[in-house]
């Protein structure tokens, strides 16, 4: 799926591009594993972990997209002695198995918890994702791995989508040598996005791990780094780290190269799966859109025109493991329980039975999400 190249396309290559392509995208926020999740998803009889049930009710939604993107905010250690939740996350490889089977095919791994389990966590995460065939970006084994994967490129019938992932830091933990974690730095971002432009990028996506936790409005820091990305040519910015949803916007912006086009900015995609239960942290959303890329004048620098269409979102709420029975922190599409007016739907439409108290909490989350993100939600 991803292809690496070091040169811009020739005129001959441009001639044989299809007239246009359309790619369906889904993007979600943080995939976390707190200690409550570890306990709930451990089978005391088999002594094994299984996280598939968490994704069971959103898997049918994700399977329809060409690209499913998420932030993996834990490390895979494959060592039971290292399994732990907050503050230093370490998870079994089985978590990645469930992620893979839920149709996620691109994960960002640069975040403030990338170094929680040292070199073991970084290396095993990379190696496990490689074995599973899940594309990933943001952390690297060493300089050789970094040079090989520095530019993450999706080559779709000759059209190139570049994706970069950066984090504000690693909670004060030093990155063990020779590992590399991509840090938010203006010089690096400018250099990366210029490289992408020179290599014939048809679309550039930047994934940031940034901002203040639990803030429902983007702060000055987030806005600053979004502007840096957009001014250097980013078409789409995907944000994470606040652990709550923040606004998204699609608007025309002229970058420093003089290109004026519509950009998509999602400041924070919130938690997609976690053990957090504070207000607004107990859910997130699946953001969906179609990316269209159309061949333009092959003799100019503007080889393609890209556009983002049918932008929408699916509000999702995590049903906790009530008294250790039943579900295993299941992600539920909230609009299968309530319509956009917050009226409860027929129980026949509910993916699973939910107790009365949990319905009230889900309804509160949905109400606040609609007020924040607007009316472009998917109402099943």
* Position 147 in a domain: yes
pLDDT band at 147 (very low <50, low <70, confident <90, very high): very high
Say yes or no to pLDDT of 9 above 60.
no
* Position 177 in a domain: yes
* Position 4 in a domain: no
User: Percent of the chain, pLDDT > 90?
Assistant: 87
Please answer whether residues 264 and 236 qualify as being in contact, where contact means their C-beta atoms are separated by less than 8 angstroms.
Answer: yes
Per-residue pLDDT at 303: 57
Q: Tens of pLDDT along 218-267? A: 999 999 999 999 999 999 999 999 999 999 999 999 999 999 999 999 99
Per-residue pLDDT at 14: 56
Per-residue pLDDT at 16: 66
pLDDT band at 25 (very low <50, low <70, confident <90, very high): very high
Euclidean distance between CA atoms 25 and 27, whole angstroms: 7
Euclidean distance between CA atoms 301 and 116, whole angstroms: 43
Task: Name the strand (E) or helix (H) holding 358.
Answer: helix 356-373
* Position 375 in a domain: no
Say yes or no to pLDDT of 5 above 80.
no
Neighbours of 44 (CB within 10 A): 7
- Domain of 87 in residue numbering reads as 11-330
Say yes or no to pLDDT of 4 above 50.
no
78 vs 318: which has the higher pLDDT: 318
Residue 57 tokens, joined: 């009710």
* Position 145 in a domain: yes
Per-residue pLDDT at 305: 76
What is the model's pTM? Answer: 0.94
Per-residue pLDDT at 156: 93
* Position 97 in a domain: yes
Q: Tens of pLDDT along 36-66? A: 999 999 998 999 999 999 999 999 999 999 9
Cis ω for the linkage preceding 178 (within 30 of 0): yes
pLDDT band at 297 (very low <50, low <70, confident <90, very high): low
Euclidean distance between CA atoms 319 and 282, whole angstroms: 8
Q: Tens of pLDDT along 315-368? A: 999 999 766 566 689 999 999 999 999 999 999 999 999 999 999 999 999 999
* Position 71 in a domain: yes
pLDDT band at 302 (very low <50, low <70, confident <90, very high): low
Please answer whether residues 123 and 179 qualify as being in contact, where contact means their C-beta atoms are separated by less than 8 angstroms.
Answer: yes
Euclidean distance between CA atoms 327 and 273, whole angstroms: 13
Per-residue pLDDT at 6: 35
Per-residue pLDDT at 8: 47
Per-residue pLDDT at 295: 84
328 vs 7: which has the higher pLDDT: 328
Per-residue pLDDT at 173: 98
Q: What is the mean pLDDT of the chain?
A: 93
Q: How many domains does the chain have?
A: 1
Please answer whether residues 247 and 218 qualify as being in contact, where contact means their C-beta atoms are separated by less than 8 angstroms.
Answer: yes
Per-residue pLDDT at 3: 34
Q: What is the mean pLDDT of residues 185-206?
A: 97
Euclidean distance between CA atoms 361 and 373, whole angstroms: 18
CATH code of the domain covering residue 49: 3.60.21.10
Residue 314: HSE in the Cβ half-sphere, 13 Å Cα cutoff: 21
Q: Which residue has the tokens 């995609």?
A: 269
User: Percent of the chain, pLDDT > 70?
Assistant: 92
Q: What is the mean pLDDT of residues 116-129?
A: 98
* Position 374 in a domain: no
Per-residue pLDDT at 17: 81
């Amino acid at each position: 799926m991803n292809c690496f190249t070091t040169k811009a396309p020739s005129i001959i290559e441009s001639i044989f591009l299809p007239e246009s392509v359309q790619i369906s995208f889904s993007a979600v926020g943080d995939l976390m594993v707190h200690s409550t999740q570890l306990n709930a998803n451990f089978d005391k009889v088999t002594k094994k972990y299984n996280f598939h049930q968490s994704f069971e009710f959103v898997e049918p939604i994700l399977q329809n997209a060409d690209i499913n993107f998420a932030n993996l905010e834990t490390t895979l250690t494959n060592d039971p002695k290292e399994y732990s939740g907050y503050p230093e996350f370490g998870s079994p490889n089985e978590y990645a198995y469930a992620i893979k089977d839920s149709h996620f095919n691109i994960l960002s791994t640069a975040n403030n918890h990338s170094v929680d389990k040292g070199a073991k966590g970084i290396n095993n995460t990379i190696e496990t994702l490689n074995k599973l065939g899940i594309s990933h970006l943001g952390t690297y084994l060493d300089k050789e791995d970094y040079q090989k994967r520095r530019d993450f490129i999706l080559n779709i019938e000759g059209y190139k989508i570049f994706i970069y992932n950066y984090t504000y830091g690693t909670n004060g933990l030093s990155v063990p040598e020779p590992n590399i974690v991509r840090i938010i730095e203006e010089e690096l971002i400018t250099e990366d996005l210029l490289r992408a432009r020179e290599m014939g990028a048809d679309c550039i996506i930047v994934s940031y791990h940034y901002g203040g936790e639990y803030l429902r409005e983007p702060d000055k820091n987030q806005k600053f780094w979004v502007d840096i990305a957009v001014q250097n040519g980013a078409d789409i910015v995907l944000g994470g780290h606040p652990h709550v949803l923040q606004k998204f916007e699609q608007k025309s912006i002229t970058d420093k190269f003089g290109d004026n086009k519509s950009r998509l900015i999602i400041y924070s995609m919130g938690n997609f799966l976690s053990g957090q239960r504070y207000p607004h942290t107990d859910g997130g959303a699946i953001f969906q859109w179609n990316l269209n890329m159309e061949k333009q004048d092959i003799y100019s620098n503007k080889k393609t025109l890209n556009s983002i269409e049918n932008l929408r979102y699916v509000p999702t709420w995590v049903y906790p493991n009530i008294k250790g029975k039943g579900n295993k922190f299941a992600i539920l599409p909230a609009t299968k329980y309530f319509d956009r007016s917050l009226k409860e739907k027929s129980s026949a439409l509910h993916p699973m039975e939910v107790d009365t108290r949990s319905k009230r909490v889900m309804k509160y989350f949905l109400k606040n999400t609609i007020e924040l993100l607007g009316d472009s939600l998917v109402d099943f």
